[in-house]
């Protein structure tokens, strides 16, 4: 039986993502292991899963996603002015510039941001995803489709292409925060 991609299946793909305006490649699995994910559990941006529903192993699909089906629109509220004094310690070892990417430790976890403005008084941080507001084109090749294991559905994510934890890394287990 040919497995077709639907909810609660684990899909492994090779993919290349490009910006249709410039042709720039922003991400690709080329030279890496295929990307595995569990369908229907919010692991991927919504349009990526939707466009692959019904595909089977060996199939190639190309699709273009508007921001609402990818990383969403850029939000003004996601930009924040932070007193430069808070960066004093960091600035002893690193130079701050417009475009510098840093990670803030927030109560809910690490939050990456990009410096978009800088003066003596303050640093303007943009917490929007780097691909927010952008239209994205994906070329995807389906490498494998299989049913998820009970454990994967419980965890809400895929355990690699085989569904097994790699035995070579016994210390790497899934914990409560959902990390493999
Ligand atoms: Zn897990």
Q: How far is the CA of 126 from the centre of ligand 1 (A)?
A: 31
pLDDT tens column, 46-67: 999 999 999 999 999 999 999 9
Q: How far is the CA of 168 from the centre of ligand 1 (A)?
A: 16
Q: How far is the CA of 159 from the centre of ligand 1 (A)?
A: 6
Within the chain, all domains assigned CATH 2.40.10.330 are found at 76-126
Q: Which residues of 122-139 are buried (b: 16+ CB within 10 A; e: fewer)?
A: bbbbbbbbebbebebbbe
Per-residue confidence (pLDDT) for residue 44, from 0 to 100: 95
pTM over 0.95? The answer is no
Q: How far is the CA of 90 from the centre of ligand 1 (A)?
A: 35
Residue ranges near ligand 1 (ion) with Cβ within 5 Å: 155, 174, 180
Architecture of domain 1-74+131-180: Roll (3.10)
Q: How far is the CA of 171 from the centre of ligand 1 (A)?
A: 13
Domain 76-126 has CATH 2.40.10.330: yes
User: How would DSSP label each residue in 121-144?
Assistant: SEEEEE-S-TTTT--EEEEEEEEE
Query: Average pLDDT, stretch 63-89?
Result: 95
Within the chain, all domains assigned CATH 3.10.50.40 are found at 1-74+131-180
Per-residue confidence (pLDDT) for residue 180, from 0 to 100: 53
Contact 154, 143 (CB under 8 A): no
Q: How far is the CA of 157 from the centre of ligand 1 (A)?
A: 6
In the sheet that 122-126 helps form, which strands lie side by side, from edge to edge?
79-83, 122-126, 109-118, 101-106
pLDDT tens column, 83-114: 999 999 999 999 999 999 999 888 888 999 99
């Amino acid at each position: 039986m040919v497995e077709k991609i639907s909810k609660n299946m684990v899909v492994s793909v090779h993919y290349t993502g490009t910006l249709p305006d410039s042709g720039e490649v922003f991400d690709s699995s080329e030279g890496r292991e295929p990307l595995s994910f569990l369908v229907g559990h919010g692991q991927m941006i919504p349009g990526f899963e939707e466009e692959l529903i019904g595909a089977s192993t060996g199939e190639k699909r190309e699709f273009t996603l508007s921001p609402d089906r990818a990383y969403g629109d850029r939000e003004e509220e996601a930009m924040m002015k932070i007193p430069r004094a808070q960066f004093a310690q960091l600035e002893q070892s690193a130079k701050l510039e417009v475009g510098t990417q840093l990670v803030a430790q927030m109560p809910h976890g690490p939050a990456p941001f990009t410096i978009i403005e800088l003066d003596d008084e303050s640093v303007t941080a943009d917490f929007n995803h780097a691909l927010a507001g952008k239209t994205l084109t994906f070329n995807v090749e389906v490498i494998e489709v299989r049913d998820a294991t009970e454990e994967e559905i419980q965890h809400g994510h895929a355990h690699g292409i085989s569904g097994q934890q790699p035995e070579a890394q016994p210390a790497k287990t899934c914990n409560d925060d959902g990390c493999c």
